[in-house]
Amino acid sequence: MDDFEMLVETIKTQIDKVKDLDEVEKIRVATLGKNGNITSLMKKISTLPQEERANFGKKVNDLKMQIEKLLSEKTSVLKAEVLKSKSLERSIDLTIPGPLRSVGKIHVINHVINECVEVFSKMGFNVVEGPEIENVYYNFEALNTPQWHPARDLHDTFYISETLLLRTHTSPVQIRTMENQKPPIRIISAGRVYRNDYDATHLPSFFQMEGLAIDRNISIADLKGTLENAIKTLLGKDKIVRFRPHYFPFTEPSVEVDVSFAGKKEWLEVLGAGMVHPNVLRNVGFDPEKWQGFAFGMGIERIAMLKYGINDIREFPRNYLKFLRLF
Ligand code: PHE
């Protein structure tokens, strides 16, 4: 082995041991750099006698090329390793189980509303909507509700201004509908209503479903038949439905409807209803001699209470997940 071969071998073992790009650079500087040993060999060429130059120069050049090749090979190997470890760091392990995602469900109130919509749709009622912030005119005046009525009291109703309030029932939708549709009319409308009440069977914000049917020759028999059929379809044929005389300014005659619960020992009022008052028809420009109708307003939470045996209406707005998951 001559000096050149030995030099190659030494540098080669050095390069083999190298573990990072910094070390490669150090070796490059030590060999091919300005003051590197290969560089100084190159410089030596010109100092040699003419006849030795060609042979020596070729050997140094070979050496230089070998070292360059070794260094560049090592550089690519190290660069590839760096890339690989970086992409491993960033990669996704498909074998790790994913996070558990719990599937939500429809809220019990919406569920009951949907069921009511289904039952009344089958009897020919269409769904309409109305605003929760209502005009005093639609909430009271147009519904023949005089100033002296307790529902209009400041203590019972959430007023926003003198003319605006949070609707106390869904009945204003009756007026809005009759202003926009010609009879015959059959509509239902569900949504939030607001009253200053709070106990086991009353909430300050609860849900009602309004119903209105206007046609020729509608009688209280239609009202009774429709409501009895709907309630028994919703709650079961075994339920007893009781019609109790009542007073509403916007219906005449008026009834409240109770349903048996707690093993038929008790009654729970589920809706108010009646034959649309002639004044209400006049207020929307319908001739009471030609058109009659019935209307009802049903408490959605009350239906849910009967359906699932819930004793306290305050469970609904608590949003306690254990409760909500029961249905
Ligand atoms: N709006 C009445 C209430 O909330 C219920 C009702 C509706 C009564 C329609 C008669 C007709 O108590």
Relative to the CA of 143, which ligand 1 atom is closest?
1
Residue 287 tokens read as 């001739």
Q: Which of 38, 55, 90 is the last residue of a domain?
A: 90
Closest C-alpha to ligand 1, atom 12 = 272
pLDDT at 42: 86
Total tally of structural domains belonging to the chain: 2
Beta strands in 47-127 (DSSP E): 126-127
Ligand 1 mean position, distance from CA 310 (Å): 23
Ligand 1, atom nearest to 193 Cα: 4
If you measure from the C-alpha of residue 149 to the centroid of ligand 1, how many angstroms do you get, rounded to a whole number? Answer: 14
Nearest residue (by CA) to ligand 1, atom 9, is 296
Ligand 1, atom 10, lies closest to the CA of 273
From the CB of 251, is ligand 1 less than 6 Å away?
Answer: yes
| 73 & 174 share domain | no
Residue with tokens 């209280």: 220
Looking at the fold, whether 155 and 52 belong to one and the same domain comes out as no
Q: Which residues pair with 135 in a beta bridge?
A: 164
174 CB less than 6 Å from ligand 1? Answer: no
Residues 154 and 293 in one domain: yes
| Domain of residue 141, CATH code | 3.30.930.10
Classify strands 133-135 and 164-166 as parallel, antiparallel or unpaired. antiparallel
Could you tell me the distance, in angstroms and rounded to a whole number, from the CA of residue 242 to the centre of ligand 1?
A: 16
pLDDT at 263: 67
| Within a domain: 250 | yes
- Given 55, 90, 125, the domain boundary residue is 90
Question: How many whole angstroms from 108 Cα to the centroid of ligand 1?
Answer: 23
Under a CB-based contact definition with an 8 Å cutoff, are residues 319 and 244 in contact? no
> Is residue 85 domain-shared with residue 118, that is, in the same domain?
no
Residues 134 and 182 in one domain: yes
Digits of tens for pLDDT over the chain (327 positions)?
Answer: 578 788 888 888 889 898 988 998 899 898 988 988 888 888 888 888 888 888 888 888 888 898 889 999 999 998 998 888 888 888 888 888 888 888 888 999 999 999 999 999 999 999 999 999 999 999 999 999 988 888 788 778 999 999 999 999 999 999 999 999 999 999 999 999 999 888 888 889 999 999 999 999 999 999 999 999 999 999 999 899 999 999 999 999 999 999 987 666 789 899 999 999 999 999 999 999 999 999 999 999 999 999 998 988 999 989 898 998 888
Does any domain span residue 101? no
This prediction's pTM: 0.70
Same domain for 126 and 257?
yes
Q: Kindly state whether residues 233 and 176 are assigned to the same domain.
A: yes
Residue in 144, 165, 171 to alter for ligand 1 test, most ligand atoms within 8 A of Cβ: 171
* Domain assignment of residue 98, yes or no: no
* Pocket perturbation via mutation, ligand 1, pick of 138, 149, 169 by most ligand atoms within 8 A of CB: 169
Same domain? 141 vs 267: yes
Residue 103 lies in a domain: no
Q: Where are the alpha helices (DSSP H) in the chain?
A: 3-17, 21-32, 37-45, 50-90, 108-122, 136-139, 172-180, 220-235, 278-283, 300-308, 315-318, 321-324
The pLDDT of residue 327 is 86
With a 6 Å cutoff on the Cβ, whether 297 touches ligand 1 is yes
pLDDT of residue 45: 87
Assess if residue 97 is contained within a domain.
no
Q: Indicate if 42 and 135 belong to the same structural domain.
A: no
Residue 34 counted as domain residue: yes
**The pLDDT value given to residue 224:** 97
Ligand 1 centroid – CA 131 distance (Å): 17
Residue 286 Cα to ligand 1 middle (Å): 20
| 126-127 vs 185-194, strand pairing mode | parallel
Same-domain pairing of 313 and 284: yes
Q: Is the CB of 272 under 6 A from ligand 1?
A: yes
In a shared domain, residues 152 and 288 = yes
Do 137 and 234 fall into the same domain? yes
Nearest to 187 by CA among 130, 244, 143: 130
Structural domain boundaries, residue 82: 2-90
Whole-number Å distance, alpha carbon 295 to ligand 1 midpoint, is 8
**Residues contacting 52, CB < 8 A, separation 6+:** none
State which of 61, 90, 119 marks the end of a domain: 90
Tell whether ligand 1 has an atom less than 6 A from the beta carbon of residue 226. no
| Cβ 275 vs Cβ 252: under 8 Å | yes
Residue 38 lies in a domain: yes
**Distance between the two ends of the chain, CA-based, in angstroms?**
90
DSSP 8-state class, residue 319: -
Torsion of CA 104, 108, 109, 111, to 10 degrees: 80
307 found inside a domain: yes
